[in-house]
Structure 1
Amino acid sequence: MSDRPRALIVSFSPIHRDARVLRQLSVVARHARVTTIGYGPAPAGSEEHLRIPDDAASLPQTVRGVLTLIARRWRAAELASPAARLSLELVAGRRWDMVVANDARALPVAFRLADGAPVWADLHEWAPEERSHVPVWKILVAPLMDHLCRTYLPRCAATTTVGLAISELYEERYGVRPAVMRNTAPWTDLAPTPVDGDTIRLVHSGGAVPGRRLETIIDVADRLGEGYSLDLFLVPAKDGEAYLEGLRERASSNPRVTFHPPVPATELPATLNRFDLGVYWIPPYSRNARLALPNKLFDFVQGRLAIAVGPSQEMESVVREHDLGVVSEDFDVASCVRSVAAMTRDDIARFKSNAHAASRPLSFESDAEVADGVVRTLLSAG
C-alpha cells in the first residue's frame, strides 16, 4: 500500500457532511492514498484527516486581512485567512502526487502545497458571485475571487464544475472550460412508492439558508390546504439556527408541516422514498441561484419522487428532459401553488415512475466517470 500515489484534498467545508466532496473523495481513493484538510471530523474514505478548527475563517476576516482586502492587495490576501495559514502549517514539508482544490478560495493553498504536483480545481459554483447578494462580500471578497480565478485556473491541470451554464461562464471570463461533474447522488436500489391515502406528501431536504427563501415552501403548503402535507429535513445554517427557528415559527399554525432532523446523505434517498413530491423554488437572487443544479434535485430522483421546481434554467432543463414533474411559471407563491395543484395523483405516479427510469443516467455513476478520468490523467502526468 505504501507505493500508492498520495493525494491531498483541500476543502474549507465540513467534509464529513459535504456530499460533493465525499463523492469526489470516493473516486480519488480508488487510485491513491488520500489526506484531507477541512473542518469537522474525519470523512469516510480519507486515510488521514487534518482538521481545521471550526472558528478558523476561510476568508481574510481578521482586522489585518480586511485591511488587505480594502487596499486591494490581492497577492497578500491569497493566504491571509486563518484557515489558509493553518493548512500550510499542518502540511508543511510533505509531497503529493496530486492536489484537489475545492472552490476558488482553496486554490492558493492547493498550489502552495502541491509544489509542482498537478492541481485539480473543483468549482462548486460560479465563484466570483458566490455571495454577491451580501453587500460586504460583493465589495470586498468578490474581487479577490475574481483574482484567484484569473490567476490560478489557467494553471490547473484539470477543472470541473456543476453544470454546463456555469462551465460556459468560466470559459467566457477566464478562458478555461471546466468539465461538467453534476451534483448527482449514487444510484440507490429503490422503487417508487404508491400515491395513496388522503394526503399528497411534499418534502424538501437541504440547508436552512436565508437566500433560498424556504418560506415559499411553507406558504405553498398553507395555500394548498387539506390534502397536502409538507415534511422538511433541514441542516441549520451558521446563524445559531436563527433562520430555522423563524421557519418553525412561520409554520407553527399548520399541523401538516413537520420538521425533522437532517439525515446523512447515504440515508436520504430511502428517507425521501416515503414521500410523493420533492419541492424547491429558489428565486434567482444571484447568478448562482439562477443556474443552480443542486444535490437535492438528484436526491429527489434517487428517492423516486415527482419534482416541482421554479423556472431555474438548469433544474428546469433536467425536469423537462426526463419528464420528472412540473415547473412553475414564476417563483411567487401563487405560481408555485398552481403548478402543484394542477397535478393529479396519476400525474404524480407517472412522474415518480419517470424518476425511476432516469435514476441511473441521473446518478453519480455517470458523473464519477468524469472524476475518474481526471484522477487517472493527473496521476499519470504527475
Structure 2
Amino acid sequence: MSAPRILAISLSPLTRDARVLRQVDALARHGEVTTVGYGPAPAAATRHLEVGAGLNSLPRTPLGVAGLAARRLHAVELSAPGLRRGLELVETELGGSGRFDLVVANDARSLPLAHRVARGAPVWADMHEWAAEEFSHVLTWRLLVGPLMEHVCREYLPASAAVTTVCEPLAERYTEHYGVACEVVRNAGPWRDLTPSPADPARIRLVHSGAAIRGRNVEMLVEATLAVPSCTLDLYLVPAADGGRYLAELSRLAGGSDRITIHDPVAPAELPATLNRYDVGAFCMPPINVNAEYALPNKFFDFVQARLAHAVGPAPEMARLVREHGLGVVSADFSTEAFVAALRTLDPQAVRAGKEASHRHARALSSEADLQVVDGIVTRLLGAA
C-alpha cells in the first residue's frame, strides 16, 4: 500500500517559518508531503512546489484592489498572484484525476486554494493566529484585506475537517465567531538538551529574536536597554519587506552603543543553541490588535528551550506562563518606563532563578504535547479520507 499523499500550503518563506517547518516534520511521519510556498524546500518535504518570491499572497494588483474595494470577495479569493501560481503548480502536479489524501492550509489566505485543490480530501485549516485582524493596525488592511479574511473564514472554516490555532483564547474566539471546533497547537519548539549558561554578575545579557517589523516594538527594547546601564541587548532579526528601513531605524536608535548589537538572523533550528549564551529573552509588544493581545510566539518558547529567564509585557498568555512557572518578570504595562522598571528588578540571583525555571519546565513547554494533537488530527483525517 502506498504512503498517503499530503499537501501542505503556506504562502510564507518555508525554511524561515518555524511553525510550518515543525508541521511538515510531523506530517512526514504519516506520508509523503508536498509543500507549496516561497523559497527552497523544507528538509522533510518529499516534493516542493515553489511559488516565486515576487508573487504576492494577497490581491494587491489593480484589479484585485478594485475587487476588494467593491466587496467582490468571492471573485478575489484566488486572484492574488501567489495563489494563482500555487493553483497552477498543484493542478499540474495532480493532473486530471489525481488527488491528495489530506490538504493542510496555513493561514486564512491559503484556505480558498486548499479547498479548490482538495478534490474531496479533508482540509486541515491551521489558522495560526486570528486571521481577520492580522494587521488591523494598518488602515489599508483594515479597510480592504480584513473583510476578505473574514469572508474566507466564514466561507471555508465550517467546510474544513479540522481547525487549529496557537492558544486557547483564540480557539474560543474561532468557535464563537465561526461555529467550528478549534484545537490548540502552540508555537512551541522541540525539547533541546541544553543547560542554563552561567549568569554574568557584572551585566544582564538581554536577547530578542524574530522579524524586524515595526509593530513588534523592538525599538522600545533598544530604548529600555539604553536606560539601564547594567543591560546589553543582542537582536537576531529577520528583515521585513520594507527594504531594511526598520532595521536601519533600530541601528540609528542604538546610536553606536556597544551595549546594542544587531545580528543576522539565525535558522529556526539553530536559535535555542545560539540564544543559550544570553541571560534574558525580552519581548514586549503592545496589544495593537487581537493577535498582539494574545501573543504566544515562537520566540517565547525558543527562550525557554535556550534556558533563558524572561522579561515580557503583560500580554495575558505570556504573562500567565511567566508567572505560573517563575520564568522571570512581567512589566506593569507596555511603556518604556514600565519595562525599564521591570529590568531594574533583575539581579544575578533573579536571572539565575529564571534560567533554572526554564530548565525545569523545558519539557512541558516543548512541542511534545502539541505533536500529540497534530498526530491525532492527521491520523483521524487520513482515516476518514
TM-score w.r.t. length of structure 2: 0.97
Q: Report the CA distance between 1:197 and its aligned residue.
A: 4.2
Distance in 2 between residues matched to 1:177 and 1:305, nearest whole Å: 35
Give the secondary-structure state (helix, strand or coil) at the position aligned to 1:31.
coil
CA RMSD across the alignment: 0.9
Distance in 2 between residues matched to 1:331 and 1:116, nearest whole Å: 47
Give the secondary-structure state (helix, strand or coil) at the position aligned to 2:11.
strand
What is the aligned partner in structure 2 of residue 194 from structure 1?
Answer: 198
Distance in 1 between residues matched to 2:227 and 2:358, nearest whole Å: 26
What is the aligned partner in structure 2 of residue 348 from structure 1?
Answer: 351
Q: Report the CA distance between 1:193 and its aligned residue.
A: 1.2
Distance in 2 between residues matched to 1:91 and 1:137, nearest whole Å: 28
Where does structure 1 lack aligned partners over 5 or more consecutive residues?
none
Which residue identity is paired with 2:335?
Answer: D
What is the aligned partner in structure 1 of residue 223 from structure 2?
Answer: 219
Distance in 2 between residues matched to 1:259 and 1:337, nearest whole Å: 20
Q: Does 2:3 align with 1:18? A: no
Asked whether the 8 Å contact 2:201–2:348 carries over to 1, the reply is no
Which residue identity is paired with 2:271?
Answer: L
Distance in 2 between residues matched to 1:204 and 1:139, nearest whole Å: 32
Q: Does 2:109 align with 1:110? A: no
Q: Does 2:320 align with 1:321? A: no
Give the secondary-structure state (helix, strand or coil) at the position aligned to 2:29.
helix
Give the secondary-structure state (helix, strand or coil) at the position aligned to 2:55.
coil
What is the aligned partner in structure 1 of residue 313 from structure 2?
Answer: 310
| Cα-to-partner distance string for 1:195-254 (whole Å, 9 max, x where unaligned) | 1241111111111001111110000111001x2211111111011111011101110232
Q: Report the CA distance between 1:194 and its aligned residue.
A: 1.4
What is the aligned partner in structure 2 of residue 134 from structure 1?
Answer: 138
Distance in 1 between residues matched to 2:80 and 2:350, nearest whole Å: 51
What is the aligned partner in structure 2 of residue 300 from structure 1?
Answer: 303
Distance in 2 between residues matched to 1:105 and 1:121, nearest whole Å: 10
Q: Percent identity?
A: 53
Distance in 2 between residues matched to 1:53 and 1:68, nearest whole Å: 23
Distance in 1 between residues matched to 2:70 and 2:287, nearest whole Å: 31
Distance in 1 between residues matched to 2:261 and 2:201, nearest whole Å: 18
| Cα-to-partner distance string for 1:113-167 (whole Å, 9 max, x where unaligned) | 1011000000111001011011111111111111110011011111110001111
Distance in 2 between residues matched to 1:52 and 1:67, nearest whole Å: 24
Distance in 2 between residues matched to 1:285 and 1:116, nearest whole Å: 39
What is the aligned partner in structure 2 of residue 85 from structure 1?
Answer: 84
Give 4+ residue runs of structure 1 displaced > 2 Å after superposition: none
Q: Report the CA distance between 1:14 and its aligned residue.
A: 0.6
Where does structure 2 lack aligned partners over 5 or more consecutive residues?
none
Distance in 1 between residues matched to 2:282 and 2:310, nearest whole Å: 6
After TM superposition, the structure 1 = structure 2 runs for residues 1-382 of structure 1, keeping only pairs within 5 Å, are 3-92=2-91, 93=95, 94-225=98-229, 227-382=230-385
Q: Report the CA distance between 1:102 and its aligned residue.
A: 0.2
Distance in 1 between residues matched to 2:343 and 2:246, nearest whole Å: 25
Q: Report the CA distance between 1:86 and its aligned residue.
A: 0.9
Distance in 1 between residues matched to 2:339 and 2:41, nearest whole Å: 40
